[in-house]
Amino acid sequence: MTRPIVDLRSDTVTRPTPAMRRAMAEAEVGDDVYREDPTVNRLEARAAEIFEREAALFVPSGTMGNQAAIKVHTDPGQEVICEQRAHIFNHEMGMMAAFAGVLPRTVLAEDGILTWDLIASQVRARSDHRSRTGLVELENTSNLAGGSVYPLQVSDEICDRAHEAGLPVHLDGARIFNAGVALDRSVVDLTRKFDSVMFCLSKGLGAPVGSMLAGSKAFIEEARLVRKMLGGGMRQAGVLAAAGLVALEESPKRLRVDHENARFLAERLAEMPGIKIEPGKVVTNILFLEVSGTGLTSFELSKRLASQGVLANGVTAANMRMVTHYDVDRAGCERALQVMRGVVGAPQKAVFA
Ligand code: TLP
Are 49 and 99 members of one domain?
Answer: yes
206 lies in the same domain as 280 = no
**Nearest CA, atom 13, ligand 1:** 143
C-alpha span between 333 and 337 (Å, rounded): 6
Asked if residue 280 is part of any domain, the answer here is yes
Reported as a single tens digit per residue, the pLDDT across 293-315 is 999 999 999 999 999 999 999 99
Pocket probe for ligand 1: among 8, 9, 12, the residue whose CB has the most ligand atoms within 8 Å is 12
pLDDT tens sequence across 4-62: 799 999 999 999 999 999 999 999 999 999 999 999 999 999 999 999 999 999 999 99
Task: Specify whether 202 is located in the same domain as 181.
Answer: yes
- Evaluate the omega torsion of the peptide bond into residue 12 and state whether it is cis, within 30 degrees of 0: no
Q: Are residues 231 and 298 in the same domain?
A: no
Adjacency order of strands within the sheet including 79-83: 55-59, 211-215, 196-200, 169-172, 133-139, 79-83, 103-107
The 10 Å Cβ neighbour count of residue 130 is 10
CA distances from 189 to 45, 158, 337 (A): 19, 14, 36
List the residue whose alpha carbon is closest to atom 17 of ligand 1. Answer: 62
pLDDT digits (tens, 9 = 90+) for 218-242: 999 999 999 999 999 999 999 999 9
Q: Could you tell me the distance, in angstroms and rounded to a whole number, from the CA of residue 345 to the centre of ligand 1? A: 32
Q: Which of 251, 284, 304 is the last residue of a domain?
A: 251
Indicate whether 272 and 230 sit together in one domain.
no
Ligand 1 within 6 A of 63 CB?
Answer: yes
Residue 349 located in a structural domain: no
Q: What is the CATH number of the domain that holds 99?
A: 3.40.640.10
Q: Is residue 209 within 8 Å of residue 20, measured between CB atoms?
A: no
pLDDT confidence bin for 127, thresholds 50/70/90: confident
Spatial neighbors of 27 by CB under 8 A, at least 6 apart, are 39, 238, 239, 241, 242
* Claim to verify: residue 216 and residue 286 sit in the same structural domain: no
Report the C-alpha gap between 212 and 200 in whole angstroms: 6
**Residue 316 near ligand 1, beta carbon < 6 Å:** no
What is the reported pLDDT for 346?
53
Q: Calculate how far, in angstroms, residue 342's C-alpha sits from the geometric centre of ligand 1.
A: 31
Closest to 80 (Cα-Cα) out of 93, 91, 92, 89: 89
**CATH code for position 287:** 3.90.1150.10
Which of 49, 62, 69 lies closest to 248 in space, CA to CA?
49
Nearest protein CA to atom 6 of ligand 1, as residue? 10
251, 281, 300 - which closes a domain: 251
Q: Do residue 90 and residue 175 come from a single domain?
A: yes
- For residues 148 and 44, state if they share a domain: yes
Q: Is 125 part of a structural domain of the chain?
A: yes
In this prediction, residue 192 has a pLDDT band, given cuts at 50, 70 and 90, of very high
User: Within this chain, do residues 47 and 77 fall inside the same structural domain, yes or no?
Assistant: yes
**DSSP-assigned letters across all residues of 273-338:** TT-B--GGG--SSEEEEE-GGGTS-HHHHHHHHHTTTEE-EESSSSEEEEE--TT--HHHHHHHHH
Of all atoms in ligand 1, which is nearest to the CA of residue 286? 8
Question: Does ligand 1 come within 6 angstroms of the Cβ of 10?
Answer: yes
**How far is the centre of ligand 1, averaged over its atoms, from the C-alpha of 202 (Å)?**
9
For ligand 1, pick from 7, 11, 59, 87 the residue to mutate: most ligand atoms within 8 Å of CB: 87
Q: Is the same domain home to 220 and 336?
A: no
Please tell me the total count of domains within the chain: 2
Tell me the C-alpha distance between 290 and 145, whole Å.
Answer: 13
Whole-model pTM: value is: 0.96
- Please provide the DSSP assignment of 125-147 as one string: -S-SSSPPEEEEEEESSBTTTTS
Q: Do 233 and 290 lie in a common domain?
A: no
Within a 10 A sphere around the Cβ of 127, how many other Cβ atoms? 8
Whether 203 is in a domain gets the answer yes
Could you tell me the distance, in angstroms and rounded to a whole number, from the CA of residue 106 to the centre of ligand 1?
Answer: 18
Amino acid in the structure at residue 86? A
Assigned domain for 283 exists: yes
Looking at the fold, whether 59 and 136 belong to one and the same domain comes out as: yes
Residue 351, domain member (yes or no) = no
Q: Which domain holds residue 157?
A: 18-251
